[in-house]
Structure 1
Amino acid sequence: MKNSNIVLSVKNIRKEFIVKKHFLTGKVKDKVVAVKNVSFSIQEGKTLGIVGESGSGKSTTGEITGGLMKPTYGKVFYKNKNIYEITKKEFQEYRKNVQFIFQDPKGSMDPNYKISDIIAEPLLTLNICNNKREALKLVDEILSKVGLDDNIKNKYPSEISGGQCQRAAIARALVVNPSVIICDEPVSALDVSIQAQILNLLKKLQKEYNISYIFISHDIGVVNFMADKIMVMKDGNVVEMNEAKQVLLHPKQKYTKKLIDSAFIN
């Protein structure tokens, strides 16, 4: 059933990675199944938290949802349209509207480019701006929105702190005015005090821009702070999914209880 409030959804996605093939026949001898039959949807302006230990399949799920890799089986829908059956123009619109923020912001940025050029690049690549001068004007506006001083734009990623770099990564994702941002462990590499600042910034921006988030983390305490709904993954499977409060107060699975016990929840 179609729901106009659902921005992005996946249905029965599965991802297999081939580990070994027969050297003569090419027949698959060994494979790893990273994601097994996962389905979920994300509503406009809401946050779905995906939580699980390392190797649970949460990041692979995020990358499939955001179009960075194809599932072995299953479907991804953007505004009720299968992204593998849409026109080239529609796919470009989907790519613009689904952005990423990664764990290592410096690793996701070209060290040879200044921050202003890094943030301006998607504006020019996606033809949102006609020229660089137009793009740089939007860069100035977005830097202010994420709490960065104007002088940051002329620096390289190596010249600024991890927290500043993550703010710049948020600016790069936000500058194209997306519908959804997939946040893959966006604070796990930062100091605790900086983590709180970044999480509060993401919440503030969500309210201002009505963005949907898919927030991926191994820390269920962080996910609880951010999410409206929590999806718990283990060994590529969804073991539990419910409203965030219900998952935290009334977990159904022992694995979920283990994640809660290992987190620092106030």
Structure 2
Amino acid sequence: MLVDSHCHLDFPDFASERADVIARAKANGVGAMVTISTRVRRFDEIRAIAEAYPEVWCSVGTHPHNAAEEDGISADELVALSAHPRCVAIGEAGLDYFYDHAPREAQARGFRTHIEAARRTGLPLVIHARDADADVAAILEDETGKGAFPFLLHCFSSGADLARVGLRLGGYISFSGILTFRRSDELRAIAREVPRDRLLVETDAPYLAPMPYRGKRNEPAYVRHTAEVLAETIGVSVDEIEDITTDNFYRLFSKAVRPAAA
């Protein structure tokens, strides 16, 4: 069994065939998926998908692109919404300096608010980090000093320094289809440094389809291709990487209920 720890099943790309997408994932051995929130104000849509499909869980949070739009969302609100039985994580939140769609001050405020919610609930914070390694690391260091919280550096494409900080502070790292790209040698080198009990896989669907689907719409079924490359990268079998990443998922996303057969 594999788990797609990060996808966006609420996005319009899947609206006309969501049930088929989920069925294809199951047929490819993907036993669980987490559909990730990008806007708290649309949590009802995310929650409805998780309620409709037993294989799907969800998170609640504001993507840094939407930090200005949802500036002022409180930790209390995140905590309250996360109490829903299908909600297993906070986020995604963090910093994105590549697009800079929201003022950096708003992104940082939102990031810290989501950290507070993760600390209070014990749910993992799903962290988005792009071209902001130093500031993400600084905030993680500062906030961990106030009290530990579980977190996942999702769709990891940052440098080794952020990976090491995240791991030292107790975080997990998830690899997406980027790991399969021909020019991702540096990323594969980082993957070899990550302790096996901190590794996860994801799609970030509909984005970042792995080889051989690069450039096409991604979907949860394709997480298997990333898992295969991760297995080769760290020198284990595909069966072992399935066990490793699935066990790690259920340890970190501890609110998610593991299927009995898995």
TM-score range, shorter chain: 0.3 to 0.5
Tell which has more relative contact order, 1 or 2 (C-alpha 8 A, sep 6+): 1
Q: Which has the higher helix share?
A: 2
Provide TM-score, normalisation by structure 2. Answer: 0.38
Provide TM-score, normalisation by structure 1. Answer: 0.38
Q: Which has the higher strand share?
A: 1
